[in-house]
Amino acid sequence: MVVTENKIKESLSSITSEILNGTNYNRSEFARNILNYPAMMVPSVQEPIIKSLSETFKGEVSLFDPFMGASNTLVTGMKYGLNVFGQDINPLAVLLSKVKTRYYSKDELLISEDSIKSRIEKDTSIKKEVRFHNIDKWFKNDVQIELSRIHRAIKQESNVGIRQFLWVTLAEVIRLTSNDRTSTFKMHIRSKDDIENRNLSPIKYFFSILKRSIKDLNDFCSVLIDNELIKENKYVKDVDVVWGDSLKIINTEKSFDLLITSPPYGDNQTTVTYGQFSYLPLQWIPIKDIDDKISFEYLKTIQQIDSNSLGGKMLDDFSHKKENLFQKSRTVKLLFDTFNSEEQVKAKKVINFVHDLDKTIDNLLGKLNKGAYLVWTVGNRNVNKQVVQNDNILIDLLSSKKVELITDLERDILSKRMPGRNNFSNTMNKEKILIFKTTAN
């Protein structure tokens, strides 16, 4: 049966606002709670879209997310038996995604819980396992000692998949027990009084988060089992998540039918500082347990991940690249014209970001099959009291490459962990889901 574009539009437009706003979904079904990564997609939003689009293909369907973050899109694709591939520049996102897309049997998780508990309980050493610049600013002494006991116990685990799961658990403990405030994604030290008055036991946190995460992973794995997608303790289709800079290269030979993603909405420094959010946990996790291709350089400074992400670096040959971009997007040109000479630094940042996004899109299109669908969830933001219309910019850029919009949906952001309004933008209460299709021949 050939599914016409009208049928797809019809089926997508029947997705209710309740579903799009993610009010009624079961978080644990998608292992969404195991680490509180910033700006996670709401799986219930993706689910009906993935279901509807994947049904339009005959045979195997493959899904790709070049900015996978916490891999909620990939995990939703797995529920529908798709081949999935994801890439992200942030090592913490890669670690989390490896864990969420791997099948863990209930028994192996429970055995690992018992053995790590007994190793931690026996350890009375006060030796500290990790040193880095300013560690004493970010962690109290007794917190470092307990984190070191957990660290030693995880290192003794022989199975790398289990170690990865335990490192993710430790990452969540670090988020909650460091001296960094949890209210922002930027690194922001707590007040002196607050630090002194907090009496924290990372080991207690670890045990309770471990229990909750085992339940979450089991719930997700049960969904896969019920859908007959697990054989011989493995997901029956292809699943691969890698570390990589999507602006430079997509690290796979495969090609895809669906690209479903939510890109950053601007450079990380001024939008969501994914890198700063990940800096402290990454100091405690051995990089070779995440992906042996990751360069250690990425973890050396707090700014490194953010400045290597989309829009994080100033362009060479700015005027030429800017003019080139104006040819592709009238929305960018009109926006740029509103900035006066004192506002050029901000204007340049917007141009850098859109330039990087445009180059990344070229890389992505090279990996898509004919007739592939692209689903982009984007939000607009404010820079200098001007709205950066990421939705229209994306439509312009893709249209300049002959990829046309077929339909769009709008949702309120109710259940997404975004920075507070004041430090980001006041247009962040709505998100657009834009659906495009590449030509079929």
Ligand X SMILES: C[S@@+](CC[C@H](N)C(=O)[O-])C[C@H]1O[C@@H](n2cnc3c(N)ncnc32)[C@H](O)[C@@H]1O
Whichever of 53 and 203 has its CB closer to ligand X, that residue is 53
Tokens of 10: 């019809």
31: alpha, beta or left? (left if phi > 0; alpha if psi -120 to 50):
left
State yes or no: residue 282 binds ligand X (CB under 6 A). Answer: no
Closest distance between ligand X and the C-beta of residue 167, in Å?
A: 17
Cα angle 373-60-8, degrees, rounded to a multiple of 5 = 35
Give the one residue of 29, 47, 88, 431 binding ligand X; rule: CB under 6 A. Answer: 88
Partners of 387 in beta bridges: 382
- For residue 6, with 0-12 CB atoms within 10 Å meaning exposed, 13-18 middle and 19 or more buried, which class applies? exposed
Closest distance between ligand X and the C-beta of residue 420, in Å?
A: 17
Residue range at the interface with ligand X (CB under 6 A); choices 61-69, 315-323, 384-392, 429-437: 61-69
**Residue whose structure tokens are 């799986």:** 43
Q: What is the DSSP string of 114-178?
A: HHHHHHHHH----------TTHHHHS-HHHHHHHHHHHHHHHT---HHHHHHHHHHHHHHHHHHS
State yes or no: residue 262 binds ligand X (CB under 6 A). Answer: yes
Hey, which residues between 285 and 314 contact ligand X (CB under 6 A)? 309-310
State yes or no: residue 69 binds ligand X (CB under 6 A). Answer: yes
**Rounded distance, CA 343 to CA 351, Å?**
13
Spacing of C-alpha 310 from chain mean position: 14
Residue positions counted in the chain: 441
- Cβ distance 150 to 203 under 8 Å? yes
Residue range at the interface with ligand X (CB under 6 A); choices 52-60, 228-236, 239-247, 391-399: 239-247
- Cβ distance 374 to 259 under 8 Å? yes
Closest distance between ligand X and the C-beta of residue 40, in Å?
A: 4
Whichever of 77 and 264 has its CB closer to ligand X, that residue is 264
Residue range at the interface with ligand X (CB under 6 A); choices 65-73, 207-215, 225-233, 338-346: 65-73
Residue range at the interface with ligand X (CB under 6 A); choices 161-169, 209-217, 256-264, 334-342: 256-264
- Which position's Cβ is nearest ligand X? 69
State yes or no: residue 250 binds ligand X (CB under 6 A). Answer: no
State yes or no: residue 419 binds ligand X (CB under 6 A). Answer: no
Closest distance between ligand X and the C-beta of residue 269, in Å?
A: 12
State yes or no: residue 187 binds ligand X (CB under 6 A). Answer: no
Hey, which residues between 16 and 55 contact ligand X (CB under 6 A)? 39-41
**Rounded distance, CA 266 to CA 107, Å?**
43
Residue 176: phi and psi, rounded to 5, are -90, -15
Three-class SS of residue 17? helix
Residue range at the interface with ligand X (CB under 6 A); choices 87-95, 153-161, 164-172, 319-327: 87-95
Three-class SS of residue 290? coil
State yes or no: residue 246 binds ligand X (CB under 6 A). Answer: yes
Whichever of 83 and 87 has its CB closer to ligand X, that residue is 87
What is the contact surface with ligand X in residues (CB under 6 A)? 39-41, 65, 67-70, 72-73, 87-90, 93, 245-247, 261-262, 264, 274, 309-310
